[in-house]
Every structure is written in C-alpha cells, then in structure tokens.
C-alpha cells in the first residue's frame, strides 16, 4: 500500500515540527507538505494532492474554520483533522469547524508538556484518526460472541423483530468521530422531548463537552446539561458525560441520579460508553434503549451486550452515513443491533421505540 499523504497546516514552526515527527512514527504516513496559514494551504492542496489535512484553528490571513469552508467547496471528501487548543475558545472554534465540514480533531499539547511528551501524545491521537478516516485502520475490529441471552432477543437487520414487553425508561447514546454533527442531526429530528432521561457519551476532553452540551441545546426541544455528580436526571432532559470522567446512572431512593468518577479508562476512553451502558443495563434492565453512532474503535460494544442481556433494545448507525464505522460497526458485527439505520432515520427509530408520533419525511428509511 502506498503511504497516506498528509498536509500539515499550522502557523507555529514548533507545532509543525512536532506533528511531522509524530507522524513519522508510522511508516505508513508521509508528510508531503506544510503550510503556515489557510491561504497557503489552499494552494498546497492542489500542488501536493494530500490524502488528509491536519489544520490549525487560529492562523493569520485565513483561519482554520474559513479554510475548512473553502476546502469543502473544491474537496468535499478530503479528510480534515483540526488541531485545537484545550480552551473554551478552542472548543467553540473546533465545533464550528466540525459543523463546517471537518471530520475530526485533536487537542494540541499544553505548553507545560515536554517536546518528547507532546510528540508522543500527538502520535497517539493523530495516527489512528488518520488511518481510520483514510480507511486504513491497523487492525480489524475484534468480533465478540453475544451474551447467552442475547441470542434469544437479537434480531439482525431484515429479520423478524423480537417482542419487547417493557416500556422504555431511558435512552443512552454513544458517539466519537463525527459524533457532534451526528448528535445534532439526531436531536434536531425531535419536535417534542422524549418522555425519559437521556444520557450520552461523546468522546471529548474537558471543556469541549460543556461547549457541546450548550450547542446541542439549541438543536431541538431537549434541554442539554454537562452532567454533575449526584445530579437528578429528569425526563425530557439530556445529560452529557463530562470530558475526563466516567458517568454512570443509579437510583437513589425515588430519584435517578448521575454518578461521576475517575475510574481507569476503558477502550482508552474516559468517559467510556461501556461504563455508562453497563450502569444503564443494571439500573433499567429490559427498559433500556441504547444507540451507538459514528465513531472510531469499539467503545459501546460490550455495553450493548449488557443492554441486550438485560432484555433492552439496541440501535446502530449504518456504515454509509458514518464518518467512521468503528463503534456502530463493532455492535453490528457482534450481532447486538436490533436496528441498523442511516443517520437521518435514527430519530425515527428512537421515536418508534418510545411510541412517539413519527415525523413526515421526504425519504423512506
């Protein structure tokens, strides 16, 4: 296989060097050009024909968000990974870039980090994202055997649906690469709030999850919150796991509450969907509905196994509409998905489980 060709765009000479050295740790990647701002990057793209672009947010002449918009006019399918500072302003600008068409993002090393540590972290963050977006993941997703009880209730796509006798009492969601835009699309598909609490994990660092919750709260009828420890979970509200902390749900007397903790990462993630989904299955049993959207890796797969084993229902996003079909693909390949739907039909699939009136749409799911 020829190497994946990368264009590195950043106004900092130091950051360009760190990214270049980070990518050099993988012989399957080749830096074919560098640019100090977005205007130069637009010229370089036509000259070096990269397979993927890493793009700084804050640059002179043409910043990262404006560069994404220009690139999408001429290169609608070129993978773009934003490189952002871990700040509120950086989070807002990154979400703007994702909405404009960027595929994913990484955060830059902090100024307190050594150069060696910064290069190592960039390599750990950037390399798998580049490979996933270029459909060149280093290893296939592991297949797991569904739990013993799952064989009785799981219906593969196209098969007869299994009966579910308990009214659902919760919806839990998971997403990663491509998730912010996918979540916005899903929640924009509701004209009325769900009659149950909604809890979700989007793989993001601290600061970013608060910005994401604020932004998603403007997409539809659901109020969004970055969850806090001990917070009561109310019907019709959505609670986002904060970056850097696991979230679980439990009953406390007559209340349902969120519990946050700093347990070890799972699937190299904290928050991890598997942690949340297991707690949902334990707390709600067969009244659980889980939904796994676009994302890299396989976080959420084992949690979906717990949901299915408890008698709950699982929805997965399909491959054609996923930015990366890692997380939902793992669920489908493990035989744990009762419904596999394109992104525009996810809200309808959720609404169907909660016996809500479907929207009139111009397409057939």
With bands split at pLDDT 50, 70 and 90, how would you rate the model's confidence at 262?
very high
For the cut 50, the answer to whether the pLDDT of residue 90 exceeds it is yes
222 as an active site residue: the answer is no
Could you tell me whether strands 170-175 and 246-252 are parallel, antiparallel, or unpaired per DSSP bridges?
unpaired
For the cut 80, the answer to whether the pLDDT of residue 50 exceeds it is yes
List where CATH 3.40.50.180 sits in the chain.
150-353
Q: So what's the pLDDT on residue 356?
A: 62
Q: What is the pLDDT of residues 276-322, one digit of tens each?
A: 999 999 999 999 999 999 999 999 999 999 999 999 999 999 999 99
Length of the chain: 365
For residue 122 the two structure tokens come to 């960039």
Q: What is the pLDDT of residues 194-237, one digit of tens each?
A: 999 999 999 999 999 999 999 999 988 999 999 999 999 999 99
176 as an active site residue: the answer is yes
Catalytic residue from among 84, 125, 175, 203: 203
For the cut 90, the answer to whether the pLDDT of residue 71 exceeds it is yes
- What is the CATH architecture of 150-353? 3-Layer(aba) Sandwich (3.40)
Average of per-residue pLDDT across 29-49? 97
User: In sequence order, which residues have a C-beta less than 8 Å from that of residue 170 and are 6 or more positions away?
Assistant: 196, 197, 198, 199, 249, 280, 283, 284, 287, 288, 289
252 as an active site residue: the answer is no
Catalytic residue from among 84, 175, 176, 279: 176
Q: Is domain 4-133 classified as CATH 3.40.50.2300?
A: yes
List where CATH 3.40.50.2300 sits in the chain.
4-133
CA angle 99, 105, 109 (to 5 degrees): 140
SS3 236: coil
Catalytic residue from among 104, 299, 318, 338: 299
For the cut 80, the answer to whether the pLDDT of residue 178 exceeds it is yes
With bands split at pLDDT 50, 70 and 90, how would you rate the model's confidence at 165?
low
Q: What is the pLDDT of residues 98-130, one digit of tens each?
A: 999 999 999 998 777 788 999 999 999 999 999
């Amino acid at each position: 296989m020829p190497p994946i060709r990368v264009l590195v765009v950043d106004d900092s000479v130091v950051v360009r060097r760190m990214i270049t050295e980070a990518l050099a740790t993988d012989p399957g990647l080749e830096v074919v050009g560098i640019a100090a701002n977005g205007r130069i990057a637009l010229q370089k793209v036509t000259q070096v024909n990269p397979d993927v672009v890493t793009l700084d947010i804050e640059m002179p002449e043409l910043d990262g968000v404006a560069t994404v918009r220009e690139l999408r006019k001429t290169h609608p399918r070129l993978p773009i990974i934003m490189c952002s500072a871990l700040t509120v302003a950086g989070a807002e600008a990154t979400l703007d870039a994702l909405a404009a068409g960027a595929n994913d993002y990484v955060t830059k090393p902090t100024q307190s980090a050594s150069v060696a540590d910064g290069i190592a972290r960039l390599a750990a963050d950037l390399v798998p994202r580049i490979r996933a977006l270029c459909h060149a993941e280093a290893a296939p997703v592991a297949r797991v055997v569904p739990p013993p009880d799952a064989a009785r209730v799981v219906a593969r796509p196209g098969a007869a649906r299994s009966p579910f006798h308990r009214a659902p009492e919760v919806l839990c969601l998971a997403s990663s690469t491509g998730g912010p835009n996918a979540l916005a699309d899903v929640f924009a598909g509701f004209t009325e709030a769900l009659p149950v609490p909604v809890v979700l994990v989007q793989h993001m660092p601290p600061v970013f999850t608060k910005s994401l919750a604020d932004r998603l709260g403007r997409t539809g009828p659901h109020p969004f919150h970055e969850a806090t420890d001990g917070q009561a979970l109310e019907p019709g509200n959505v609670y986002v796991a904060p970056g850097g902390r696991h979230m679980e749900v439990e009953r406390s007397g007559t209340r349902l509450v969120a519990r946050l903790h700093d347990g070890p990462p799972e699937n190299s993630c904290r928050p991890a969907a598997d942690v949340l989904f297991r707690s949902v299955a334990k707390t709600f049993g067969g009244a659980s509905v889980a939904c796994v959207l676009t994302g890299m890796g396989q976080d959420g797969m084992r949690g979906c196994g717990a949901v299915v084993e408890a008698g709950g229902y699982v929805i997965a996003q399909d491959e054609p509409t996923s930015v990366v079909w890692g997380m939902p693909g793992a669920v489908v390949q493990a035989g744990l998905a009762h419904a596999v739907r394109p992104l525009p039909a996810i809200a309808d699939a959720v609404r169907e489980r909660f016996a809500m009136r479907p929207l009139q749409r111009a397409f057939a799911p």
